[in-house]
Amino acid sequence: MTKWSILLVLAVFLALLVVAARSEPVDITFAWDSNTETDLAGYNLYQSQLEGVYTFGPGCEVAKIPISAIPSTSCVLPSVEVDNTYYWVLTAYDKWGNESGPSNEVSNDKTAPAAPGGLSCK
């Protein structure tokens, strides 16, 4: 088997349809670029409430996504509590159980953007 030569390139689109005051769980849709290795078996989606802090390995993933279950490169994580901020990364695994490094991190963080600066009037 060849060593993972290229980390999984991911483009993750996070879709949330939430009104600011809404506290009901929502479904979040993830999408990514396909890993093209012939021995690819699936993907693992990891979730954390701490930015950049994950526990990896069997049983730690919030969603194990076998290739046979999803012909496309997307999945829906149902019933995510919008009152909490979560962070996610995705890994690929092969049919021998080898796992890639993590993708870029995405979040449902709803922190307000920084205030604009440099406003002036003449």
Three-class secondary structure assignment of 95-119: CCCCECCCCCCEECCCCCCCCCCCC
Domain membership of residue 72 (yes or no) is yes
- The count of domains in the chain is 1
Domain membership of residue 85 (yes or no) is yes
Domain membership of residue 117 (yes or no) is no
CA distance 102 to 104: 7
Q: How many CA atoms lie within 13 A of 117 on its CB side?
A: 1
Domain membership of residue 94 (yes or no) is yes
CATH of the domain at 38: 2.60.40.10
| Residue 73 neighbours by CB under 8 Å, 6+ apart | 31, 32, 33, 34
% of the chain residues with pLDDT over 90: 23
CA distance 121 to 110: 31
Task: Quote the pLDDT of residue 102.
Answer: 94
Q: What is the pLDDT of residues 9-18, one digit of tens each?
A: 223 323 333 3
Domain membership of residue 92 (yes or no) is yes
Starting from the edge strand earliest in sequence, which strands make up the sheet with 63-66, in order? 63-66, 40-48, 87-94, 106-107
Domain membership of residue 21 (yes or no) is no
Q: What is the pLDDT of residues 39-82, one digit of tens each?
A: 999 899 999 989 999 888 877 888 888 877 655 688 888 878 87
Task: Quote the pLDDT of residue 122.
Answer: 83
Domain membership of residue 7 (yes or no) is no
Range of the domain at 96: 26-102
Written as six digits, the tokens of 90 are 């995705």
Task: Quote the pLDDT of residue 10.
Answer: 28
Which of the 8 DSSP states describes residue 15? B
pTM of the model: 0.67
